[in-house]
Structure 1
Amino acid sequence: MLISIGSKNPAKIAAVEQAFQGYAFEIVPVDTESGVSEQPLTDEETIRGAINRAVSAFDVSGADIGIGLEGGVQKTEHGLFLCNWGALRARGMEPIIAGGARILLPEEIAIQLLAGEELGPVMDKFAKKQNVRKKEGAVGIFTNGKIDRVEMFTHVVKLLLGQYEFKRQSN
């Protein structure tokens, strides 16, 4: 099975690899545009980014499956939550969508994001590290390493894969 992922981010690629363990597959990472802002500020925008990446990855690669993974934030009455969404595109199917874990971001991070900054650079500065988004992610920093970005996105890809298999079996 050829799987195209709409990102070259190592954490997202590792998530797809982990979710598809036990399957015969090859992953083709491709640079795709999310078609949304650099820092998605709502679930809807983050979902749209994931779908756009999945469709684009599928269309440009000739793969059996295209996967898009997108991180964003969602404002609630309790504060700004980290969110992550994924989409899977396969021939003859509408995109399948799944969401994952959410955690409340500290107020000092939320203020910067709502002022127009992007989470990746904000986290690099906050954690005094480089490329947090390609490693543990904000979720890894704020859960003290209990959950990292790979594990968070692996969960989403497993939800996508399970729905994909169910739909294929139902047809």
Structure 2
Amino acid sequence: MKIYIGSKNPTKVQAVKNIFIENSDVIAVDVASNVAKQPMTDQETIQGAINRAKGALYEGDGVIGIGLEGGVQQTDYGLFLCNWGALAVEGHTPIVAGGARILLPDSIAQRLIEGEELGPVMDDFTNKNNIRSQEGAIGVFTENQINREEMFTHLVKLLYGQWQYRNRGE
């Protein structure tokens, strides 16, 4: 079974490979999220994930398209890191799931609110390159108790489980 993921980010691709391991060929394709580079709400982040899932399905000849999107959500308690995923199959409404959330430090949150994107902000904060393709902000701010790949793997498990449940009834 061919699974297309709408990103070439290694943490996202590996997360899909971690779950779709048997009889699956995971193929990464570049597709646009069609939302801001830094999604600032759950709604925008969800829409980005759906757009990537549908775009991946459209780009390939696979059975499943998956979109994974990171963003942030403002709350009364501060700005939280959020992540959303979508799984698209032809003829069905996309399956959507949300994952882990952590409060971002005020110094990071302020830069995002002022219009910067989390990836470059984290590179600057850590003095490293391409954090988004490695441990991610979640890894940095949890002392690697959970990294970006693990966070997205959990999200893909939620999508996969819902897909299995839906298929059970068909």
Question: TM class by shorter-chain length?
Answer: over 0.9
Residue equivalent to 2:7: 7
What is the 5 A alignment of 1:11-90? 11-21=11-21, 23-90=22-89
Match of 2:100 in 1: 101
Output the aligned Cα RMSD: 0.6
Q: Deviations along 1:48-76, whole A, 9 cap, x unmatched?
A: 00000000000110111000000000000
Gap runs ≥5 in structure 1:
none
How many residues are aligned here? 170
- Quote how far apart the aligned CAs of 1:35 are: 0.5
Letter matched to residue 94 of structure 2 = P
1:91 CA displacement: 2.1
Structure 2 CA distance for aligned equivalents of residues 145 and 156 of structure 1: 17
Match in the other structure for 2:133: 134
Name the amino acid aligned to 1:139.
Answer: I
Deviation of residue 92 (structure 1)? 2.5
After TM superposition, give the deviation of residue 19 of structure 1 in Å.
1.6
Relative to the length of structure 2, the TM-score reads 0.99
Q: Residues of 2 paired with 1:73 and 1:91: CA distance?
A: 29
Runs of 4+ in 1 over 6 A off after TM superposition: none
Q: CA deviation at 1:154?
A: 0.3
Task: Give a deviation string over 1:105-161, Cα, whole Å, max 9, x none.
Answer: 000000000000000000000011100000000000000010000000000000000
**2:143 matches 1:144:** yes
